[in-house]
A and B are shown apart, each in its own frame.
Chain A
């Protein structure tokens, strides 16, 4: 295999230096005024593009002005047909309904004769026997994404996009029988072959939705979700570690090489997990706003539409990341949502395909309304963290937030606004656009109805979960993400579903160092276990990032150190970039969990 060219190594050094310089500025605690004086920052708050400071400088310029279908995914001149914002209410995906029984009954071994496509036995079907059963059909449905656009031929779970929301509870295992009833004609993009991933359940591999466990039309696949806490069969028997509780999960298609197309076409939905603390009832447990009235899932997407016929359009020539010029929440372009004068829990999800967001709540006078972050990637934090400076979200990241509307007069208007500038799929420029100049996602309208609010006030600093106790790691592995002649490599190797890059020994802990490449930003996702972020670029992570996560934002040349404890189940899992376009261009590796493990990918020399 060829090595990275000399030219790239030089460039890499330059970038390392730029990152170092930026870190030094932070470490030196230069104030805004100091930096403006030193000519490093403009008064608008932009870092001056200077060689040695911004690694992106030499590429800045015309990148923001491209047509959407020529592969560059530019977000310059909008191409989609105009649509009037905020004309329809936010749709709330329906709650998935159980079926009394499945016929034929689920079996431990794959029921190949009856059309099941599973290839491996269930690991825990008898020990964590499902108490609820669901049947889901992936099929085409005509759906309106905006009243001024034609109906769209979307791929759905049981007829809705986003799919139905699963409302699950710890201690209640479920089984979903998942049918592929997709049509022969894909309408221009999408593959009628699917693998549904539950992101990021503590799920045995055969039910996880591994990218290469895909199945075709007319087949079905039983997915067993034990809804069990990590550690139940190892460190914390028999119920698992309460501090590993998760709340906001989502499911989406993960078909290798076709994930971006299939998810863009609609194959994604929410999966909410409750327990004795996170109860869904604001009078019990942590007293978080009650589900479903005041606990609202919001799936963010950006998409493009054909300027001639108004149909949903996916750029098949894009290798870098697709940026849409229409912004959707729960499948609607710029909906509105009426809120009462009280606290709400919003479960924000960036469902891609590629864009990074920095979300603000912008009031009509263009000032920010502060809000509380309570959960990162479905993991409740130790305490709520208030933010006034926006909330970063890479693809697949979930942020549960508490927004208090009690201070607003009836009739007030507030927008969820993304103010992060991004010109191409490579990553954001990190410029923050002025309030009102960003992408408005959704409009809140405060109504005058009288209302009670029994939910906890985040300002009282309630405690949720502790960060789980760490044990000594068995091994440290290091991963460098890079790009070689347009091919994504991890530690200089390319993806192959059949290539097990390393083996994790079940019920042991590991530390991984992830090193981002130059010029590109990646939201990196590791299946199965949540990790703890130990260090980001040598520093202690922010309060929001400090707990558990399953997606790591790797900005240009970031180094992040994370801790895992792989427990209870065995089998195959991937690590991959969740910019779905990068993912589909093979920015992925496979690792397996077994009872032996190995020490592959432990060369950390490149960092020293």
Chain B
């Protein structure tokens, strides 16, 4: 059902914004370029098509291969981080468990390193193994200046220049969205995992009536404060 649902939504919703759908007042005819599709604008503005390398050593294009037509969850981290990375990674593992096999099939999780100089694909792979992260969640590295551009354009920069340079202060916020539907928002990476799952599942569509499949393994105990495995059936 989720697959069908997603295909249906993607098919109906993405009628590109034909030129001229943005109406024109008579006096503004000559002044402005014909509006390109909003989706193309978002891609240019926020989703550069940089080449990245996965923890498995595979070369991928950020927009074309990772974002386009997908429901995605994106955060930034680095292997030797002693601050917010570890609690966020552990929490996202709970999220992955709750979403089960859907991760890697119709929902994709990406963690991009903030220290591409030291986080080689091998180092990321070791991290994945050490933390027993399941398939479907990809760790990524790339050229430092491109990673920095990507971080800023995706909204992971701090408005305060000083804080932005302080890696220990890097944000624990996580971006989630549906590229085709042009839906983008963020959740705090340390929020209760079942709540995060609800947020991610909204990306299937406001009318998606979805109960996640039982996870491969439910999180042990109740360390997130809540343990709703069912997502409310919102209209």
Binding site for B on A (CB under 8 A): 1-2, 5, 58-59, 61-63, 69-73, 81, 117, 142, 144, 147-153, 184-189, 191-193, 214-219, 257-258, 306, 308-311, 316-321, 424-426, 484-488, 494-499, 519, 584-586
Contact = CB atoms under 8 A, between A and B. Distances in A.
A473 to B, nearest CB: 28
Interface of B: 12-15, 17, 21-25, 27-28, 31-36, 38-39, 41-42, 45-46, 83-84, 87, 152-162, 168-173, 181-192, 194-195, 198-199, 202, 205-207, 225-226, 228, 234-235
B226 A426 contact: no
B192 A1 contact: no
Contact of B189 (A147, A487, A496, A498): A487
Interface of B is mostly: loop
Q: 6 shortest A-B CB distances, which residue pairs?
A: A486-B171, A216-B206, A188-B38, A317-B155, A151-B23, A117-B235
A416 to B, nearest CB: 25
B153 A147 contact: no
Given A81-B31, A311-B22, A216 B172 contact: no
A3 to B, nearest CB: 12
A191 B183 contact: yes
A2 to B, nearest CB: 7
A149 B158 CA distance: 32
A192 B234 CA distance: 13
Contact of A487 (B35, B161, B171, B185): B171
Nearest to B198: A497
Given A151-B22, A586-B187, A317 B46 contact: yes
Contacts of B162: 58-59
25 contacts: A5-B168, A71-B152, A71-B156, A149-B28, A185-B14, A185-B15, A186-B183, A187-B17, A191-B206, A214-B234, A215-B206, A215-B235, A258-B185, A316-B155, A317-B45, A319-B159, A425-B159, A485-B172, A486-B171, A486-B173, A487-B188, A496-B225, A585-B173, A585-B186, A586-B187
Contacts of B36: 309
B172 A150 contact: no
A185 B152 CA distance: 26
A320 B159 contact: yes
B235 A71 contact: no
Contacts of A62: 161
Given A184-B15, A191-B206, A496-B192, A310 B28 contact: yes
Contacts of A306: 35, 41
Contacts, number: 206
Given A153-B21, A185-B17, 5 more contacts: A142-B23, A187-B182, A189-B184, A214-B234, A316-B184
Nearest to A73: B159
A389 B41 CA distance: 43
B207 A216 contact: yes
B160 A584 contact: no
A423 to B, nearest CB: 9
B191 A496 contact: yes
Contacts of A584: 185-186
A497 B235 contact: no
A266 to B, nearest CB: 15
Contact of B83 (A71, A73, A184, A485): A485
